[in-house]
Structure 1
Amino acid sequence: MKRVKFYQQSTNLLINGFQPPLSKGEKNTRVQPNRATDVKIKEIRDKIIQAKAYLNFAPPGSNSQIVRELRGRTKELERSVGDATKDKDLSKGALRRVKPMENLLYKASRVFNNCPAIATKLRAMNYNTEEQVQAQKNQAAYLMQLAARTTPKGLHCLSMRLTSEYFSLDPEKRQMPNQQNYYDPNFNHYVVFSDNVWLLQSLLTLRYSSKEPERIVFHVVTDSLNYPAISMWFLLNIQSRATIQILNIDDMDVLPPDYDQLLMKQNSNDPRFISPLNHARFYLPDIFPGLKKIVLFDHDVVVQRDLSRLWSIDMKGKVVGAVETCLEEWRIRKLTSTYIKYFNLGTKRPLWKAGSLPIGWLTFYRQTLALDKRWHVMGLGRESGVKAVDIEQAAVIHYDGVMKPWLDIGKENYKRYWNTRPLPSHLLATVQSSSLIRKKQIQTA
């Protein structure tokens, strides 16, 4: 009875997840019941590769018994495995065919016994496979970048319509209100560099989240091509108390005269490398000479909390924070000159692989104040695995990466944060009417 009782207790312990330690010399044969493995799959595929390697050493047109058997067994195993990726997906028939293949491969090794030649062949097959995989990765990366640079039809039509309406206005009607606030240091200044008319999302979420929206001055720096459309968007939809300044980088005398030539040396179509807007942020003290502090936004952010506390943060002599830039210290330390030095170096060395980001890291090394991570959560435009709780607690969320929320390739589980605050009805009507015009044009064509 005691033995039975002991056995029952041991069984209960095992059921509850406890396993007694192994005795000395005992082999660990315990199997994790729910862990999916692919050991058998890999073993079978290796045998298929080995069989094909042997077949490559058969004389051309050979139809010997060993060759016929290798071909037959290889086809059987390939059909049995199919697209299986885990051992649990294998049929019993596939497992039964492994042993005959092993015996056949042993026979083949006696016939084709030139080991150095076989090793060379396997290395060549491995190299070719790696080349194919790399080619597929390169193609996938190219298509992803192409999709990221594609403007949705509705937005493209909207931009053209806004540009047309802008040039139909009288010059005096193209002026923004509240221009007296543009360089007033008593206001909270924000800036975004963008050629995307859809950047209004950043402005809307900033105003919605602010406790004092009338104290906000929003500066938009764009290029000549997009200046009319972006200006018209704000002229149509701006509130009377809002202060918005639209600047054209092509009209500014802040970039070096040979800047375009330096950018073209990159020999790339990627806007991260050749767009002046991507590099113009390093000239903030020159663009805004009368300001002491400014917050720099990307156009792919959403503001979820009031940011006014940023202006009371002690920068401790640093130049930049996670989301904040101290222009006064920037000027004192002459960091624009430091950037130019690294910029010129980047034309000769691979510093620009990630756009202007590596140059920024070098320029502001030891010049950055670390802010609480809840101010700025990144990774919503790529495979980052950022948690929902971190997103919801963040003051600003950033769709960095190519998977922008307004594109089809955007991450579905992150798109809802971009669309949290719907556009006002009059803005939505502008987009919808532009889409309707586009549809009519297509139907007419």
Structure 2
Amino acid sequence: MKPKGPNRRFSHRLVVPAVLVAGLLLPFVFIRAAFLALDARAASICPSISTLLSPPVFPCFLSLLPSPLPIGLLQMLTVMSGMDSGCLGWTLRPRLLLDSSQDFGKELRRVYLEEAEEGGHNKLDPRLVNAAPDSLDDLMSEMSSSSSYQHLDLRTLLLKTKAMLLKMDQKVQSARLRALIFQHLASTGIPKSMHCLSLRLAEQYLVNAAARSSLPPPEYASCLTDNSYIHIALITDNILAAAVMVSSTMTSAADPEKVVFHIITDKKTYTSMHAWFAIHPVFPAILEVRGLHQFDFPPDVNAVIMDTVEELHRSSSAYRYYRGADEESRRLLALKPSTFSLLNYMRIHLPELFPKLERVIFMHDDVVVQRDLTSLWYLDLHGLVMGAVSAQESDDEGSGDGLCLGKTFGDYINFSNPMLTTSPSSYINVHGWRASTSLICKHGESTTSPGNTSSGLNWQALRNPKLNRESGFALWPMGSLPPALLAFHGQVLPLNRSWLLSGLGWQMPDPELLQSAAVIHFSGPGKPWLETGHPELRKIWQSQLNHSDELVSSCMVV
């Protein structure tokens, strides 16, 4: 009996749809089965991270990690945060339903904000940090090894990750500090050529009678206290720098025979400094070289200066062994020779060094004079003590000095400290001045007189570092400039900015400003006698030296 046609036709109609449905479903079934099998295998060799990525645990994991996170680790955690279960995370459902990057970012911000409010990170055992992997690749290699997988747990993963990041951070901080120290030493070191010159000059002082000749000659000694001359003071132990300053001033002077140079140095450098200027006279100008050991001060003045010397030694010892939050910056400052240099503090005592002079032009040793200083000498100070270029004026001209030096008193002095009784509002925004070229005038009783308190602070306390030492060095950075700013506050006449261009040790200034400035100051690490100086600016400084001089050429100074 033949089957009915309609039943046979019905079965043929189902074949094509059934094949199509099976073709669509079977691949998904096989893929899903494969994922389940792999997930089961992974569960046997490593813990599930679904607990780690759950809301109660994930913030705790993030809180163990220092900030900022490396990009590689951040990407790894972002991928992990989109997985549902299994340490290798082969399920796809949450990744299709959630925006993992936004979720992770929100959670990361929330955790770190909470951590900042709670007071920071927990500390790890230093031994664990030292034994941590050196990089993220090393961490991944260690974690992927079979031996690590057998003993892997959540706490181990977190501790290893945090230890690795802390170790990397310590390496970065250490490298940064070493770079700063090397740069600092390069900018404050004395080249071998300058050591050679100093030794050769000391030898000349011993064997050459001309190198021991009087400075100035006896017939000109009276000019040293004659106020009709232009008196220029320089306090330094750098022989070459002093030679360049004197040479450039003589080259630019309209009446060099009316100029008197007063060079003050220490006992160690005195013989070499004296020998240089005795062998290289600056006639028709008048020049004297005096060591601090040669001054005969009255008893009261000697007591004031000796207080400064003794307190400077105490502060030096205390500062070198001080431990505080800014220990690294203090270590760098302690390496700077001028920080504890007695010569650096003697500029505060200029009235005692030259008691018979009514006014004196004070110069730093790292300057080159390009214009006659006669008009500066005769400048009317309107009864004030000092004339100097404002820090704001010199920085606004784009000299580059303002990039690294403060402009206002508040950049140097901590007025919030209760040991400073003066009102912070009256000082903190006051603009400072550049002392590299300044005219100091003596008008009887002024702020330069001991005991005067017109500046709001006791002048005697400011003339030595004692007040700062007793505060734990919290009032100002070590140096003579901060207390001098306070002591001369209200007694400084701002000079025209064309008198001084500073910051040449930081960067190349505008050529027009460089050419028009009366005095250029190599403030900053790029001193012209060092290789760190700008080549074009070094040529300006070196042009003031006689390259054919036997001492200069034999020591290969230039």
TM-score (norm. length: structure 1): 0.67
Q: Superposition pairs for residues 417-436 of structure 1, below 5 Å?
A: 417-419=540-542, 421-424=543-546, 428-435=549-556
- Deviation of 1:51 after TM superposition, in Å, equals 4.2
Alignment of 1:343-358 (within 5 A): 343-348=465-470, 349-353=473-477, 355-358=479-482
- Cα 1:227–1:52 change in 2 (3 A) is farther
Three-state SS of the structure 2 residue aligned to 1:246 is strand
Listed as ranges, the matches of 1:33-182 within 5 Å are 47-51=71-75, 65=88, 131-170=170-209, 173-176=212-215, 177=217, 178-182=220-224
Contact kept in structure 2, 1:335 and 1:363, CA below 8 Å: no
The residue number in structure 2 matching 1:192 is 234
| Alignment match of 1:232 (pick from 275, 299, 313) | 275
Partners of 2:505 and 2:209 lie apart in 1 by 40
- Partners of 1:166 and 1:174 within 8 A in 2: no
* Residues 1:381 and 2:505 aligned together: yes
CA contact (8 A) 1:192 1:299 kept: yes
Mapped partners of 1:147, 1:299: distance in 2: 18
Report the residue type matching 1:163 in the other structure.
A
Distance 1:52 1:174, change over 3 A: farther
Task: Give the Cα separation in 2 of the matches to 1:340 and 1:313.
Answer: 29
Name the % identity.
27
* Structure-2 separation of matches of 1:250 and 1:187: 26
| Secondary structure, counterpart of 1:370 in structure 2 | strand
Distance in 1, Cα, partners of 2:491 & 2:167: 47
> Per-residue deviation at 1:132?
4.5
Residue 392 in 1 paired to residue 458 in 2? Answer: no
Q: CA RMSD in A?
A: 3.4
SS of 2:288's partner is strand
Q: Distance in 2 between matches of 1:277 and 1:347?
A: 19
Q: Distance in 1 between matches of 2:261 and 2:168?
A: 53
Partner of 1:332: 446
Matched, 1:244 2:287: yes
* Aligned counterparts of 2:449 and 2:172: Cα–Cα separation in 1: 43
- CA contact 2:274–2:289 (8 Å) conserved in 1: yes
Task: Sort the Cα spacing of 1:257 and 1:173 in 2 relative to 1 into closer, same or farther, 3 A.
Answer: closer
1:304 aligns to what? 370
Q: Separation in 1 of the partners of 2:80 and 2:267? A: 62
Q: Give the structure with higher Rg (CA).
A: 2
**1:331–1:299 Cα change, 3 Å:** farther
Distance change >3 Å, CA 331–CA 53, structure 1 → 2? farther
Match of 1:359 in 2: 483
1:369 alignment counterpart? 493
Distance of aligned partners of 1:389 and 1:330 in 2 relative to their CA distance in 1, 3 Å threshold: farther
Alignment deviations for residues 374-409 of structure 1 (CA, whole Å, 9 cap, x no partner): 1011001124x6322211110000011222011011
Please give the secondary structure, in 2, of the residue aligned with 1:219. strand
User: Which residue of structure 2 lines up, in the alignment, with residue 96 of structure 1?
Assistant: none
One-letter code of the match for 1:430? L
Cα pair 2:385 2:492 within 8 Å, conserved: yes
Tell me, which stretches of 5 or more residues in structure 2 are unaligned?
A: 1-68, 91-153, 321-333, 389-436, 452-457
SS at match of 1:310: helix
Work out which of the residue numbers 331, 341, 354 in structure 1 matches 2:461.
341
| CA offset digits 1:51-101 (Å, max 9, x no partner) | 4668999xxxxx97569xxxxxxxxxxxxxxxxxxxxxxxxxxxxxxxxxx
Equivalent residues, number = 337
Distance in 2 (alpha carbons) for counterparts of 1:188 and 1:155: 30
Q: Which residue of structure 1 lines up, in the alignment, with residue 17 of structure 2?
A: none
Shift of 1:431: 0.9
Match of 2:353 in 1: 287
Letter in 1 for 2:308: Y
C-alpha distance after superposition, 1:286-329 (max 9, x if no partner): 11011011111000000011111012211012111113333313
**Shift, 1:170, TM fit:** 4.7
Q: 1:425 to 1:147 in 2, by over 3 A?
A: closer
1:262 and 2:311 matched: yes
| Alpha-carbon spacing, 1:362–1:228, altered in 2? closer, same or farther (3 Å) | same
Q: Distance in 1 between matches of 2:172 and 2:342?
A: 35
Q: Is the 8 A contact 2:212 2:275 kept in 1?
A: no
SS in 1 for 2:306: coil
Cα shift readout 1:148-184 (whole Å, capped 9, x = no counterpart): 2321111111110101111224599521223221111
Question: CA separation of 1:407/1:391 partners in 2, compared to 1, >3 Å: closer, same or farther?
Answer: same
* C-alpha contact 1:273 1:352 (8 A) present in aligned 2: no
Q: 2: distance between equivalents of 1:382 and 1:242? A: 33
Distance 2:256 2:281 in 1: 13
Partner SS state of residue 299, structure 1 = coil
Q: CA deviation at 1:364?
A: 1.4
Change (3 A) 1:47 1:156: closer
Q: CA 1:356 to 1:131, structure 2 compared with 1: closer, same or farther past 3 Å?
A: farther
Distance in 2 between residues matched to 1:160 and 1:172, nearest whole Å: 13
Is residue 246 of structure 2 the alignment partner of residue 203 of structure 1? yes
- Could you say if the C-alpha distance between residues 228 and 127 of structure 1 is closer, same or farther in structure 2, counting changes exceeding 3 Å? same
Separation (CA, whole Å) in 2 of partners of 1:406 and 1:391? 19
Q: Are the aligned partners of 1:351 and 1:359 in contact in 2 as well (CA < 8 Å)?
A: no
Report the TM-score when normalising by structure 2.
Answer: 0.54
Contact 2:211 2:276 in 1 (8 A): no
Inter-CA distance 245–336: structure 2 relative to 1 (3 Å threshold): farther
The answer as to whether partners of 2:205 and 2:211 remain within 8 angstroms in 1 is: no
- Going from structure 1 to structure 2, the CA distance change for 1:54 and 1:400 (only over 3 Å counts) comes to same
Taking structure 1 as reference, are residues 354 and 139 closer, same or farther at Cα in structure 2, changes over 3 Å only? Answer: farther
1:271-298: per-residue Cα shift (whole Å, max 9, x none)? 2221110000111111101101111100
Q: CA deviation at 1:339?
A: 4.7
Structure 1 Cα separation of the partners of residues 336 and 180 of structure 2: 12
Q: 2:266 aligns with which of 223, 233, 239?
A: 223
Change in Cα spacing, 1:172 to 1:135, as seen in structure 2 (3 Å) is: closer
Report the equivalent of 1:183. Answer: 225
* Distance apart, 1:122 and its partner CA: 8.7
> Closer, same or farther in 2 for the Cα pair 1:172/1:136, shift >3 Å?
closer
Shift, 1:251, TM fit: 3.1
